Amino acid sequence: MLFIRTTFTALALGFMLSAAAAPSPSEPVLRVSVLKLTLSDMHSEVISETLEVLRRRLSNYRLIVSSDDLEAQHLAAQRGTADLFIGTAGFYWEIHQKGFTALGTLASPMAPNPNEGMAGAIIVRRSDAQIKTLEDLKGKSAAVTRKDAFMNAQTALGEISARGWDPDNFFSRIEEVGRPMERVVEAVATGRVDAGLVKAGLMELMLAVGSPFAKEIRVLEPRSGDSMKYLHTSSAYPGWTVIASAGLPPETLRNVTMALYAISPEEIWHSQWLPATDFARIDKLFKELRFGPYEYLRHWTAERIWKEYSLWILLFAAALLFGLLHTIRSDMLVRRRTAELAAASDRLNRLEKASVTAQLSNIVAHELLQPISAAGYYLAAIDKLLARNPNAFNTALGQQLSALCGKTRTTLQRCSTIIERVRLYARSRASTPAKIELSSFIRVLADRLKQMHSLKIPPLLKLQPGAVLADAVELEVLLTNLLKNASEAAASADVPYVELDMDTLPNGAVKLTITNSCQPLTPAEQEALSSPLHSSKENGLGLGLAVVRSIAERNETDLLLSEDVPGIFRVVLTFQQTDPRQEGAAL
């Protein structure tokens, strides 16, 4: 097994001369890190001669050259222990975002375009007739110097990715054999692996030096159509590159750049250093392989998720927020509409109840008229019987009977009047108002209600003289309901009282205020005061306030119900000075 593992003597001598020079202490130092070179690096002579020319032309600087592997170069770039690097374009692209600058890229007779100075070659055994295309290598084994080597592994794996296959799972096994790269050729030639990933030009160099393994190897699917003259399988990329560190002084950077571009092809084996203009192909390669600056694509971190899906995340968040707001808004609208529908339904039920009650009232009024009339006839019969027996009036029983008959007749007449008023309402006929002295009317009504035990709390009367235009029966019904309600509400208060206050306003209208104590009303109870047929009493029908409002509206009387102070309820009636119906008839 034959390997040529020695480093060029010229390059080694150059390193020693650089290190052994003894310049004056005032000379600035240039620390140069060169990727380790072996015979398999066909450009080793070019790089060795380049260092020698730079040392001569930059005589004011002390060049300290070190031969480093890829890890050492990355460490030097990280720690800032090197001013210049000579390495692969892949290495440059890994560190360029940290401020490193590519000064020049090598162009040689076999690769005259600096943008196409390096490529990968996939090699197989000549005797293996089953492997004719790249696709035939799926599931086979392969060898590389190391998986992260740009010159051979990454360029070749990039071709596999460009064909649409997963480079991480294309081969069943990838064996790292280390440097020199001839070891990869040996692994393929001896049958240890099915294929090898090497850099373009290695096979030509090994054939030139008579390597026995090179004769047993062929390059799979050699590419044509670019400026690269070596046999290669992958696309071509920029090759060897001189890199300046971020901290290099501008004047030194200028001097090194001028010295580098001043090197003639004759000085470095007909090669030259030129500016490369297409590092984007390396960026694309690294992105496809998820390597270097795109290493994060191999890991699902929060940063990667945000970088790749930030737009979708924002759109989803916006849609989610919109949906949440729409749901809240819709829920609010549904609740509002449901409450409005319930209120409307309740109002409709109350109106239907009021309509049915009105119809029943008409029926009851019609049916009660005959029994009341009959009772009146019975009273008239009793009067005639008493008149036929004059002696009966002389007895105490006769006198009591006569008095009771009179009171009963008066009550029946009032009932007949109320019934007739209900029938007038049903026939939509207006009653005839009369001028009534309100204070006297209220006193008589209060006394009557006391005698009938209809008032639990007797009212305190603070009345001033004042006349109003109203129907006496309607006015009696209105005030009776209000006084009874006020008395019953005051009976449940801690300090029960009912007070009536009457004043005449400057415009002649009469204002009657009924104030009573009560239990504080809840907001729902206050709102229910305006609802028809609502009653807080256990056996109430809710007709009282409905009747009061109806009578007040018919007589153009303002009615106001309020609880200004918790526990103090007030009803305000404002009677107009004139009869509005007469004014309407006059108009």
Task: Please provide the DSSP assignment of 328-356 as one string.
Answer: HHHHHHHHHHHHHHHHHHHHHHHHHHHHH
CA distance linking residue 281 with residue 279, whole number of Å: 5
The domain segmentation of the chain, as residue ranges, is 25-117+238-299, 118-236, 300-430, 433-575
CA distance linking residue 468 with residue 558, whole number of Å: 13
Q: What is the pLDDT along the chain (587 residues), one digit of tens a residue?
A: 333 333 443 444 344 444 434 445 568 999 999 998 765 567 889 999 999 999 999 999 999 999 999 899 999 999 999 999 999 999 999 999 999 999 999 999 999 999 999 999 999 999 999 999 999 999 999 999 999 899 889 999 999 999 999 999 999 999 999 988 999 999 999 999 999 999 999 999 999 888 999 999 999 999 988 999 999 999 999 999 999 999 899 999 999 999 999 999 999 999 999 999 999 999 999 999 988 888 878 887 787 788 778 899 999 999 999 999 999 999 999 999 888 888 777 766 665 665 556 556 666 665 666 677 777 766 777 777 766 776 666 667 766 777 777 778 777 777 777 776 666 655 555 567 888 898 889 888 888 888 776 677 778 888 888 888 888 888 888 888 888 888 888 888 888 989 999 988 888 889 999 999 898 888 877 777 766 555 666 555 556 677 788 788 877 788 888 877 888 889 999 987 654 444 443 33
Beta strand residue intervals within 405-552, DSSP E: 434-437, 460-462, 467-470, 498-504, 510-517
The CATH code that applies to domain 25-117+238-299 is 3.40.190.10
Topology match between the domains 118-236 and 433-575: no
CA distance linking residue 193 with residue 280, whole number of Å: 33
Q: Can you list the alpha helix ranges (DSSP code H) found in 173-237?
A: 182-189, 202-208
CA distance linking residue 19 with residue 16, whole number of Å: 5
In degrees, to the nearest 5, what angle opens at C-alpha 391 toward C-alphas 389 and 395?
125
Say which DSSP state 112 is in. Answer: -
Residue 319, phi then psi, degrees to nearest 5 = -65, -40
Please, what's the b/e burial string for 305-344 (b: 16 or more CB within 10 A of its CB; e: otherwise)?
eeeeeeeeeeeeeeeeeeeeeeeeeeeeeeeeeeeeeeee
State the DSSP H helix or E strand holding residue 562, giving kind and residue range, or none if neither: strand 558-565
CA distance linking residue 238 with residue 113, whole number of Å: 8
CA distance linking residue 32 with residue 64, whole number of Å: 6
SS3 469: strand
In terms of CATH, what superfamily is 118-236? Periplasmic binding protein-like II (3.40.190.10)
* Residue with token string 């028809």: 532
433-575 maps to CATH 3.40.640.10: no
Q: Are 377 and 416 in contact (CB under 8 A)?
A: no
Name the strands in the sheet holding 460-462, side by side, starting at the edge strand that comes first in the sequence. Answer: 460-462, 498-504, 510-517, 568-575, 558-565
